[in-house]
Structure 1
Amino acid sequence: MLEVPMYRVNGTRAQLADLLAKVPVNSWVWSVIEFDGAGQMPSNYSTLEFQKKIREQPHGLVLTWSEILKFSETIEYTIDCLIIAVSSIDKLEVDKLLADDFQECEVALRAIDSTEWILFSSSQTLLNKLEEAALQS
């Protein structure tokens, strides 16, 4: 697990789409467990409606790879979020994830207060690529 600043040395911001661009095409189960930010939310929800929808789901908002990519492209600004990928939905335990227990995850991306990203991957190679995406301009 790595912590990296959300703002790069040159002042640009590492966005969710920048991070996901480094993840290979996959068939993992993706879930948005928490989200606060600005942009076009799915189904034209307001941010508050979207947050409520996420909380109502036992596994967060479960998405496919193409759906999480599409979501990331519509986000203009991330304040806080927790987005994870697991190999199967039975590994998606929200309480553990909210406590930053990512052992069952393939990938976990957490934004904290518009200041940093916490990055996790079960693959060291992918974790290195995520770190590179966060830091490069």
Structure 2
Amino acid sequence: MECPEGTELSVSIVGDFSIRRINREYLGKDRPTNVISFSLQEGEFTEVAPNALGDVIVSADTAKREAEEGGMALFDRVCFLLLHGILHLCGYDHERSGEAEARRMEQKESELFNILKKEGLLNLTAS
């Protein structure tokens, strides 16, 4: 999916309690997760907000645990999860489309994350 100039995105940083509730209510999974995306470019009301790509919700609690486990800065982990969520909104899928699509998504995540590193926008150390 193309993201034309002027595309909007909603980002929420929440705790595990909130993301678990959202995961349960909307996705039927009664557990916290690191990131959830909801597209506004799918379904019957896409014309209501044609510039709105969707919503990305990141759990700061889960991101913190994952950052500590991975030896990376929390900011870097949150950025990675945000990229992951945005890629879902752009049509990438690692859960339902098979191994090839999962690899394609991982490659795009790495490519974008490396751009952020190269530009000095990430901490790259645990904090």
Give the TM-score band, short-chain normalised. Answer: 0.3 to 0.5
Tell me: higher relative CO, structure 1 or 2? Use CA pairs within 8 A at least 6 residues apart: 1
Q: Indicate the structure with greater helix content.
A: 2
TM-score, normalising length: structure 1: 0.32
